[in-house]
Chain A
Amino acid sequence: MAGEGRVTLHGTWASPYSKRVELALKVKGIEYEYVEEDLMNKSSLLLQYNPVHKKIPILVHNGKPIVESMVILEYIEETWSDGPRLLPEDPYERAKIRFWATFLHQQVFEVLVLVLKTDGEAQAKAMEQLHEKLKLLEEGIKGSFPGGSPAVNGENMGLLDIVVCSYFGPYKVHEEVLGLKYLDSEKYPLVTSWVKSLVQYPAVKESTPPHEKSVALVRYFREKALQSPAGVL
Chain B
Amino acid sequence: MANDGEVKLFGTWASPFAFRVELALKLKGVQYEYIQEDLTDKSSDLLKYNPVHKKVPVLVHRGRPIAESQVILEYIDETWKTDYPLLPQDPYERAMARFWARFIDEKFLSTSWQAACSSSEAEREKLIEEALGYLKVLEEQQHKRLLGGNDTIGFLEICSSFVAYWIIVIQEAAGVDLLTESKFPNLWKWAVEFQGCPAIKQKLPLPEKDRLVAFFSAMIEKIKRYK
The smallest C-beta distance from A123 to any residue of chain B, in angstroms, reads 23
B226 beta carbon closer than 8 Å to chain A: no
Does A99 contact B67, Cβ atoms closer than 8 Å? Answer: yes
Q: Which of A68, A74, A91, A106 contacts B94 (CB 8 A)?
A: A74
A71 beta carbon closer than 8 Å to chain B: yes
What is the number of contacts between chain A and chain B, taking CB atoms within 8 Å?
60
Residues of B within 8 A of A72 (CB): 95
Residues of B within 8 A of A98 (CB): 68, 71, 74
Complex: A198 Cα to B64 Cα, angstroms: 28
- Chain A, residue nearest B67 (CB): A99
The smallest C-beta distance from A103 to any residue of chain B, in angstroms, reads 6
Complex: A66 Cα to B90 Cα, angstroms: 13
B2 beta carbon closer than 8 Å to chain A: no
Complex: A154 Cα to B117 Cα, angstroms: 47
Complex: A68 Cα to B102 Cα, angstroms: 9
Does A94 contact B78, Cβ atoms closer than 8 Å? Answer: yes
Complex: A32 Cα to B67 Cα, angstroms: 35
Does B75 contact A94, Cβ atoms closer than 8 Å? Answer: yes
A67 beta carbon closer than 8 Å to chain B: yes
Residues of A within 8 A of B210 (CB): none
Does B94 contact A78, Cβ atoms closer than 8 Å? Answer: yes
- Chain A, residue nearest B76 (CB): A91
- Given A91-B75, A92-B75, A98-B71, is A103 in contact with B95 using a C-beta cutoff of 8 Å? no
Complex: A96 Cα to B65 Cα, angstroms: 9
Interface size of A by CB at 8 A reads 27
B98 beta carbon closer than 8 Å to chain A: yes
B106 beta carbon closer than 8 Å to chain A: yes
Q: Which of A52, A68, A78, A103 contacts B137 (CB 8 A)?
A: A52
Does A71 contact B99, Cβ atoms closer than 8 Å? Answer: yes
A145 beta carbon closer than 8 Å to chain B: no
Residues of B within 8 A of A71 (CB): 95, 98-99, 102
- Given A67-B99, A71-B102, is A99 in contact with B94 using a C-beta cutoff of 8 Å? no
A2 beta carbon closer than 8 Å to chain B: yes
Q: Which of A67, A68, A75, A95 contacts B66 (CB 8 A)?
A: A95
Residues of A within 8 A of B67 (CB): 99
Complex: A95 Cα to B103 Cα, angstroms: 20
B182 beta carbon closer than 8 Å to chain A: no
The B-contacting residues of A in range 130-169, CB under 8 angstroms, are 136, 139-140
The smallest C-beta distance from B146 to any residue of chain A, in angstroms, reads 11
The A-contacting residues of B in range 201-220, CB under 8 angstroms, are none
A79 beta carbon closer than 8 Å to chain B: yes
The smallest C-beta distance from B185 to any residue of chain A, in angstroms, reads 20
Does A64 contact B92, Cβ atoms closer than 8 Å? Answer: yes
Residues of A within 8 A of B64 (CB): 92
Complex: A91 Cα to B59 Cα, angstroms: 13
- Chain B, residue nearest A133 (CB): B52
Residues of B within 8 A of A91 (CB): 75, 78-79
Complex: A74 Cα to B102 Cα, angstroms: 13
Residues of A within 8 A of B91 (CB): 2, 75, 78-79
The B-contacting residues of A in range 69-125, CB under 8 angstroms, are 70-72, 74-75, 78-79, 91-92, 94-96, 98-99, 102-103, 106
- In the complex, besides A75-B91, A98-B68, 19 extra interface pairs with C-beta distance below 8 angstroms are A2-B91, A67-B99, A68-B98, A70-B98, A71-B99, A75-B94, A75-B95, A91-B78, A91-B79, A92-B61, A94-B78, A95-B66, A95-B72, A98-B71, A98-B74, A99-B68, A102-B68, A102-B70, A102-B71
Q: List 28 A-B contacts (CB under 8 A).
A: A2-B91, A52-B137, A66-B92, A66-B95, A66-B99, A70-B98, A71-B95, A71-B98, A71-B102, A72-B95, A74-B98, A75-B91, A75-B94, A78-B94, A91-B78, A91-B79, A92-B61, A92-B75, A95-B71, A95-B72, A99-B66, A99-B67, A99-B71, A102-B68, A102-B71, A103-B52, A106-B106, A140-B52
